[in-house]
Amino acid sequence: MTVHLKKLSVGTDTLESLVYRQKEAVDAGRKLLHSTRNWPRRKEELLDGGSLYWIIKGQMVARQAIKEFIEVSQPDSKPKCGIVLVPGLVPVWPRKVRIFQGWRYLEDVDIPADMPFSRTDETPMPVSLAKELRDLGLL
């Protein structure tokens, strides 16, 4: 059974800023790696198609596939868990989330749906437009 993680994107104000930060890492030839203090106990379920759902300013706004977990060692502290992510963020319908520390598991029934893509260029529709169309009952 697949499970997912939800995680706060610390220091990020918008989804676009997270996209930009990750693009810089990929362009520099680095892995998309997010380190965390604790190792997930449900690692195999996460690696079975799980994603990391990013929370920005109290809302779950995007997901990103989890590729693997690696040990990240730092010279002055204990080893940490490195969550290696597949490049490419997929915007999801924004959902309010209570703030927490660290990460939490998400079951399939609790994940938000992906945002629709525009038919012309296969890029995600702007969140504000999609939300307005949804409120009008058009999506």
pLDDT, tens digit, for every residue of 83-136?
Answer: 999 999 999 988 888 888 888 999 988 899 888 765 555 556 666 676 677 677
Q: What is the mean pLDDT of residues 24-53?
A: 92
In this prediction the pTM is 0.82
| Residue type, position 13, single letter | D
Q: Which of 6-45 are b and which e, b meaning 16 or more Cβ less than 10 Å from the residue's Cβ?
A: bbbbeebeebeebeeebeeeeeeeeebebebeeebeeeeb
